[in-house]
Amino acid sequence: MSKVLIIGAGGVSNVVVRKCAQNSKVYSEILLASRTQSKCDAIAKDIKNIPIHTASVNADNANEVAALIRDFKPELVINVALPYQDLSIMDGCLAEGVHYLDAANYEPKDKAHFEYSWQWAYHDRFKKAGIMALLGSGFDPGMSNVYTAYAKKHYFDKIDTLDIVDCNAGNHGQAFATNFNPEINIREVTQKGKFYKDGAFHEIPPMSEHKSVDYPSVGPRESYLLFHEELESLVKHIPEIKQAKFWMTFGQEYLTHLRVLQDVGMTRIDPVNFKGQEIIPLEFLKALLPEPGSLGSHYTGKTCIGCQLTGTKDGEPNTYFVYNVCDHAECYKEVKAQAVSYTTGVPVMLGGAMILTGTWKGEGVFNMEEFDPDPFMAEIGKWGLPWQEIFGQKLV
C-alpha cells in the first residue's frame, strides 16, 4: 500500500487517478496537484474508494515540488503535467529522494524539439540517490517499448525492422480538435519527420512520407511518418535494430486545418506583439480549441496501436505484430475519458505499480524496455488494454 503524488490535472491525469483508485491493493492514498487546484478537485470528487487530496503547485518550480513531496511523503511522483516541466519535477524528486515516473520526454518550451538526452543526463544523480526514474510509461512511448521488449524476448533472436503504428479512427464531432494537449500535439506533428536506419537518424519534411496501413478492427488508414521519442531509446537499448519508424494516422480535414493554421502563423511558438502585449500564437490557439478531456462524451470509433517487427528466430525469418484496440465510447463509460487519454493513462498506473511492488527495480534513469516485459504484459489486459498478436503477416 503506497502513497503517490500525481502532478497534472488533464485528460490523462483523470484516467491515471481513477485507475490508481481501482488498484487499491497498491495505491492507498493520492495527492493530486496542479497549477489550478479546481481541476484537481473536479477529478477527485467522483472517487470514493481511496483518499484523494488536492493541492496547487507550480510544477515549473522544483522547490515547490520538493516542498509538496516533503509534506505528503509519497513513495512515487507520477508526472502527467507538461513535458516542459519534466526536469523541475525530477529535481524535486532528487531533492527529497523519491521515485519518479512520466509519460512523455522533456522538451524546452522555447523550441519545438524533444529528445531523451536531458533526462538521461540525470542517471548518475538518481543512482547516487538510490532512487529510480521510469521514463515514458504511456502507450507510445510506453506500451510500444514493452511490446518491442516482449517480441525480442519471445520471438526474435535478432530484430531487423520496427514499425510502430498509431491509428485513431474515432470521431469526436469537432471541426478541429486535438486528442491531447493542443500545444504539445501541434508542436509534435509540425516538426520534421525522423526515422532510424543503418545506425543513424534521418530527417524528412513534415508529413512528406505516408502509406496506407490496414489496421485490425479498423481497416485501411493513411498513416504519416513522424518522429517519436521511443525510437531513440529502443535503438539505444536494442542496437541490433537496422530500421525503426513511427506512423500515425491523420484525417484530411485535420491536415487541412493544420496547414492553414501554419500558413497564417497560428502555430508559432515565438512571441508576437499584439496591441502592446506579447502573446505566443500557439498558446492563444490552445485557448480557443476544445479541451481534450471534453471530447469523450460524444466520441465514437476505435484506436489501434501496435508494433510490427521483422527479423530472425532460430535462423528463420519472422514477422510479428502485437497491438491493442480500444473503443472511445467504452472508455468514457468506465472513466469519463476518450481512448487516447485512456491508452496513455492505464500504462502510467501500471508502470507505477511495477515500481511500488518492487517488480521493476533499479537505481538511475530507465526506459520501459530495460525491464522484464512479462509481468507488465500479464497485467495490462486486466486493467483495460488487452493485446493481440498476428504472426507471419506484414501489415506495414
Number of domain units in the chain: 2
Closest CA to 92 of 112, 72, 114: 72
Q: How far apart are the first and last CA of the chain?
A: 43
Higher pLDDT, 296 or 126: 126
Same structural domain, 117 and 161: no
CB neighbour list of residue 142: distance below 8 Å, 6 or more residues apart:
103, 136, 230, 344, 347, 348, 351, 368
Cell 524476448 sits at which residue? Answer: 153
Of 119, 135, 151, the domain-final residue: 135
Same structural domain, 225 and 176: yes
Is 372 within the bounds of a domain?
A: no
The pLDDT confidence band at residue 244, using thresholds 50, 70 and 90, is very high
User: Does residue 270 register a pLDDT over 90?
Assistant: no
Q: Chain-wide mean pLDDT for the chain?
A: 92
Cell 471534453 sits at which residue? Answer: 294
Is 175 within the bounds of a domain?
A: yes
Same structural domain, 44 and 187: no
Q: What Cα–Cα distance (Å) separates residue 346 from each residue in 92, 259, 382?
A: 24, 32, 10
Same structural domain, 13 and 51: yes
Closest CA to 185 of 11, 27, 327: 11
pLDDT at res. 357: 98
Parent domain of 118: 2-135
The pLDDT confidence band at residue 143, using thresholds 50, 70 and 90, is very high
Closest CA to 346 of 90, 44, 103: 103
Q: What is the CATH number of the domain that holds 10?
A: 3.40.50.720
The 3-state secondary structure of the chain, one letter per residue: CEEEEEECCCHHHHHHHHHHHHCCCCEEEEEEEECCHHHHHHHHCCCCCCCEEEEECCCCCHHHHHHHHHHHCCCEEEECCCHHHHHHHHHHHHHHCCEEEECCCCCCCCCCCCCCHHHHCCHHHHHHHCCEEEECCECCCEHHHHHHHHHHHHHCCEEEEEEEEEEECCECCCCCCCCCCHHHHHHHHCCCEEEEECCEEEEECCCCCEEEEEECCCEEEEEEEECCHHHHHHHHHCCCCCEEEEEEECCHHHHHHHHHHHHCCCCCCCCEEECCEEECHHHHHHHHCCCHHHCHHHCECEEEEEEEEEEEECCEEEEEEEEEEEEHHHHHHHHCCCHHHHHHHHHHHHHHHHHHCCCCCCCEEEEHHHCCHHHHHHHHHHHCCCCEEEECCCCC
User: Does residue 377 register a pLDDT over 70?
Assistant: yes
Contact (CB, 8 A) for 296 and 367? no
**120-138 residue pLDDT tens:** 999 999 999 999 999 999 9
ω before 141 within 30° of 0 (cis)? yes
Same structural domain, 20 and 125: yes
User: Does residue 289 register a pLDDT over 90?
Assistant: no
Is 319 within the bounds of a domain?
A: yes
Of 135, 160, 189, the domain-final residue: 135
Backbone angles phi, psi at 220, to 5 degrees: -65, 135
Rounded to an integer, what distance in angstroms lies between the CA atom of residue 316 and that of residue 339? 37
User: Does residue 297 register a pLDDT over 70?
Assistant: no
pLDDT at res. 243: 98
Q: What is the mean pLDDT of residues 325-348?
A: 95
Q: What is the CATH number of the domain that holds 211?
A: 3.30.360.10
